[in-house]
Structure 1
Amino acid sequence: MCLSGKLFGKLWSLVLWNPSIQKFKTLPFPSIKPESPHMSVLGFGVDLPETNDYKLVRLVYHKNDVFGYNDFPEVEIYSINSGVWRRVVGFEIKHCIVKYMSSHAFAKGFVHWIVYDFVANGGGLQILIKTFSIADEVFGEIMLPDALTGGIAKGLSITLFEESHAVVKYGMGMYGVFCEVWVMKQYGVLESWSRLYRINLVGGLKKVVGFRNNGEVLISIRENVLVSYDPNSGRNTGLGIQGYTWSFYVQNYMESLILLKGNNVIPGGFLGGMGGLWT
């Protein structure tokens, strides 16, 4: 698991944590250190079964005065096997990754983000999924159906539903805020996208975080707690997990022995000590 900390919008610390064995590793400071206004986006995954190498990819967008963060980003990669950051050149990524929902999904060897781009012919905003292969270290694209590209990019987030990718679309309806859950049943096939269900975000429901094996939906609510929502009955059950509404993140979990030589987690002091890791 990759944990990142920020202070005043700037990257503060990066830690890899293995909850299976309660070990963590503090990463060295990234090689790209812009002083001007910028935005950085992270993606984390593993190359299985070829090298068993965990990699962290970082995209740094520099702000311009005209279009915001629309310039090609700088790209760097950290590998656990090598233990160092290295810059990657030769990519012209014309899409800007949506930062608002702070979501990405790793599956099938690829990191996935929601991205947007202003179409060159003036046709409006183009929204799609940008992919990054952990093994080959190349970027790709997956198209979204028209039903998901007609709104604003900030209204979309990506997650996993069982073994498939899911995109959650937020919008405003007659009865208030709602969200639709769309699932890509066949990977990379545009025609395989289908709407799973629609949820009216009433009673304090705020953001879809992920999905459980029993079919229920994990949703953060206004009181900054996580609940399990039954889309059939419309009822939710508190899970006793608290946190800032937009800080919750769900990813499929698989035990491993990675970071055996890492530092031991100190109960009550692991996250609290992240602030001084690069000082």
Structure 2
Amino acid sequence: MRTLKIAHFHPCSLKHEEMSQLPEDVTVDILCRLPVKDLVRFKAVSPRWRALIESSEFAKLHLNRSIQTRANLGLILRDEHLHAVDFDSLDGTVQAVELHYHPLRCQDYSTKVWGSCNGIICLSNSFDSVVLWNPSTRKYRKLPDSSVELEEKWRYYENRIYGFGYDSVSDDYKVVRIVMLEGMHDDESFHYEAKAYSLKANSWHRVGKFPHHPHLKRTGGVLVKGALHWVVNEEPQISRAGLIVAFDLGCEGYRLVPQPEYSDLNFLMNVERLGECLSVVCYYYYCKHVHVWVMNGYGVKESWTKLISVNEQSVIRYMQFVRPVGYSKNGEEVLLQLDGTRLLWYDLKRNQGRQVKIRGLQELMQVEMCVGTLVSLDDGGEGNGKKQQEQEDRNMGNFLSNGFKLVL
């Protein structure tokens, strides 16, 4: 079997005719296995390779292979700034790398991550700045402004949350924005507005209201099976277990998701994504106990399984917040974020935990799984494409001056 070995080399030793002898399917198969940072550099090899790597078909092939093999995974971490770590390096102590180049970096506002899908991240740092950003290619798309169409906004406290995901029906990326207005002081009135942004159309439009009271936490909608999920309540004053509402990105309609058969409803509730499944985290604050449920068959009530059940006297000490982030590659451990300060690998069979130490962070406010992809944001919108392309061409020039070698 032929293999590809890459090393730095003088460009005179690189012969285009030798590369051209590779069959197209072999070239594609080899390149699909590489991380994005290498693929961006290899566009400088030849016009043929550049056209291949920049094609939407290759981006989809590379994305699908990364998802199937759980390759090119990383974590986006947030304190006052954004950082990244390689998912495969999360064993013991790892160094976080600050993302100095992200498009919303500003000293006046902290950046919020609202979700990740196919390597694209939704970011905001003020009411007027929302972007979709691919940290692997460093390309981004700034979303157009959209006014809040609610009367007498000045009378209310305003809160905004977002959800982000991919609509496979229309092959489009969408952002859902929910603006909530709550009365001040003794005013218990409540109003809200829901809008959706389409990358293809590069525009916002109104969508229907939630079927129940949307007292939403400041967390992004959880993307599972083409729908965004939030916890809502039937009445404003209810604070215990609520309902799970899904917003389908395809038909842009709402539905309720069946939940497990809980033995006790007196818990704080969050929805999360674990692997490809919807997950519910139940925190029983009166007994310091946490249950993590996973819906193995989406929409099937009987498929809920209690995956984790822990308390402060067992594996996790001094817990006030628990969030599952993702499975290990062998599926035997789950990475947990604890109390917004630390990460822990939880062994599902042995009921044991081991700490992951991240250097370079002041605190761990947010953790988001992200896969490295070539997915483009060229459909519509206002971006910085010209400047991005100029920088990319400069990088390619530097790469060619250093040289590399292909060995078959």
**Is the shorter-chain TM-score for this pair beyond 0.5, marking a shared fold?**
yes
Q: Which amino acid aligns with 1:40?
A: R
| Unpaired segments ≥5 residues, structure 1 | 267-279
Decide whether the 8 Å contact of 2:210 with 2:254 is kept in 1: no
Return closer, same or farther for 1:223/1:161 CA change in 2, 3 Å cut-off: closer
Q: Which amino acid aligns with 1:156?
A: M
CA distance in 1, matches of 2:134, 2:285: 39
2:181 to 59, 62, 76: 62
Matched, 1:40 2:160: yes
Return closer, same or farther for 1:92/1:106 CA change in 2, 3 Å cut-off: closer
Shift of 1:149: 7.3
SS in 2 for 1:37: strand
Aligned residues: 251
Decide whether the 8 Å contact of 1:224 with 1:243 is kept in 2: no
Share of identical aligned residues, percent? 27
- For 1:2, the equivalent position in structure 2 comes to 122
CA distance in 2, matches of 1:69, 1:243: 38
Name the one with the larger strand percent: 1
More displaced, 222-231 or 207-216? Answer: 222-231
CA distance in 2, matches of 1:185, 1:163: 9
- For 1:207, the equivalent position in structure 2 comes to 322
CA distance in 2, matches of 1:124, 1:55: 30
SS in 1 for 2:242: strand
Which structure carries more relative contact order (alpha carbon 8 Å, separation 6+)? 2
Matched, 1:182 2:293: yes
CA distance in 2, matches of 1:159, 1:69: 29
Name the one with the larger helix percent: 2
SS in 2 for 1:96: coil
1:25-79 deviation digits (Å, cap 9, x = unpaired)? 222223217433122221111112x3321000111222146785754x2111111
SS in 1 for 2:174: strand
- TM-score norm. by structure 2 comes to 0.53
Shift of 1:108: 1.2
Q: How does 1:116-127 map to 2 (within 5 A)?
A: 116-118=233-235, 127=242
Decide whether the 8 Å contact of 1:45 with 1:109 is kept in 2: yes
Matched, 1:198 2:312: no
2:259 to 144, 147, 150: 144
Superposition CA RMSD, Å? 3.3
Return closer, same or farther for 1:44/1:229 CA change in 2, 3 Å cut-off: same
- For 2:281, the equivalent position in structure 1 comes to 168
- For 1:269, the equivalent position in structure 2 comes to none
Return closer, same or farther for 1:141/1:223 CA change in 2, 3 Å cut-off: closer
Shift of 1:219: 2.5
- For 2:88, the equivalent position in structure 1 comes to none
1:175-234 deviation digits (Å, cap 9, x = unpaired)? xx3311011122112232221121225335542241223332222345834333334252
Matched, 1:26 2:142: yes
Q: How does 1:199-278 map to 2 (within 5 A)?
A: 199-201=310-312, 202-203=316-317, 205=319, 206-213=321-328, 214-221=331-338, 224-231=341-348, 232-238=350-356, 240=358, 242=361, 244-250=363-369, 253=371, 255-260=373-378, 262-263=383-384, 264=388
- TM-score norm. by structure 1 comes to 0.75
SS in 1 for 2:262: helix
CA distance in 2, matches of 1:223, 1:47: 31
- For 2:200, the equivalent position in structure 1 comes to 81
CA distance in 2, matches of 1:188, 1:126: 18
Q: Which amino acid aligns with 1:150?
A: L
CA distance in 2, matches of 1:53, 1:192: 30
Decide whether the 8 Å contact of 2:340 with 2:365 is kept in 1: no
1:113 to 205, 230, 234: 230
